[in-house]
Amino acid sequence: MSRVFTWLDRLSLKGRLGAGFGILIVLLALGGASTLQTRYTQNERVQELINRDIRGRSHLKEARVHMALLGRAVRVAALAGSVEARAAGLAEVQAATAGVEREMNLAKPLLLASETQTDFERLDLHYTAYGRNVQRLVELLRLGKQTEVLAWINTNEFRRDGVAANELMLQISKKREAFLQERVAELEAIFDRGLRGLAAMLVGSTLCAILVAVLIGRAVRRPLVTLRQEVETLAAGDLARTIPHTQPHHEFGDLARAIAVLQTEASQAAAQ
């Protein structure tokens, strides 16, 4: 602490006040910057999570749409009354199949996580099985076995895996939506803790500012008190004392040197 006062004693009154206000401004700036950085980081993380989740769930929704189109295309091809209609239906089957696979491949890297990994594994199994059933149906239609196809597409064996795959896509979407809500709530809790930390920082900054004010006040008061005591000593007739604070080149130094001049003149007058 003595080093602090020694450093302050070397400063002018303007320098001391400037140092005090400067320290206070720095403390407040640090607190404000910390708040802005925390909020900015939180917003970025939340926005990234939301964007990834929205894109992933959008792709799954599109995959479910293509699954519905695939089911419709299968029935159109099975019920076709002409070779041309059957060929058009089979083309729709291929397009819908490609659409399902494309959207699932786009959704998986965006939504794959620990809570959805098992669901994606089951989805792959059921969709692969459903795809084999569709491929078998296409082969039967190309062989002209329409009666066998019509009997087969209405069985639980044909529809089971497709229904399961569709339900799993819906389940994954719901899980990710619930996860996102929980994650956002966690980030909000982290931000709230950050606000409490900021409040503690502001309290600490206020205490530091009070301490700085006390130090600046003492740094201003100490030389004044000392010089006043020296003036009182001179007035009492003690002219042999060494006047302190005559070295620094600031307001208090000027005052101390002026008192030293008075001391010298009083000593010369007393000697005559």
Share of the chain above pLDDT 90, in %: 26
Q: Pick left, alpha or beta for residue 113 (phi over 0 → left; psi -120 to 50 → alpha; otherwise beta).
A: beta
Q: Is the pLDDT of residue 172 over 70?
A: yes
Report the alpha-carbon distance of residue 272 to residue 269 in Å, rounded: 5
Ranked by mean pLDDT, the top range of 99-108, 174-183, 194-203 is 99-108
Give residue-wise pLDDT tens across range 35-62. 666 666 767 777 787 888 889 999 999 9
Read off the tokens for 69: 């189109």
- Give the distance, in angstroms, between the CA of residue 204 and the centroid of all CA atoms in the same chain: 24
Q: Is the pLDDT of residue 196 over 80?
A: no
Kindly report which listed range (7-21, 27-41, 100-114, 116-130) carries the lowest average pLDDT score. 7-21
pLDDT band at 96 (very low <50, low <70, confident <90, very high): very high
Spell out the residues 6+ positions from residue 36 whose beta carbon is closer than 8 angstroms to its own. Answer: none
Report the alpha-carbon distance of residue 147 to residue 74 in Å, rounded: 14
CA trace torsion 59, 61, 63, 67 (10° rounding): 180
pLDDT band at 206 (very low <50, low <70, confident <90, very high): confident
Residue keyed to tokens 């030389």:
223
Residue keyed to tokens 């010369």:
268
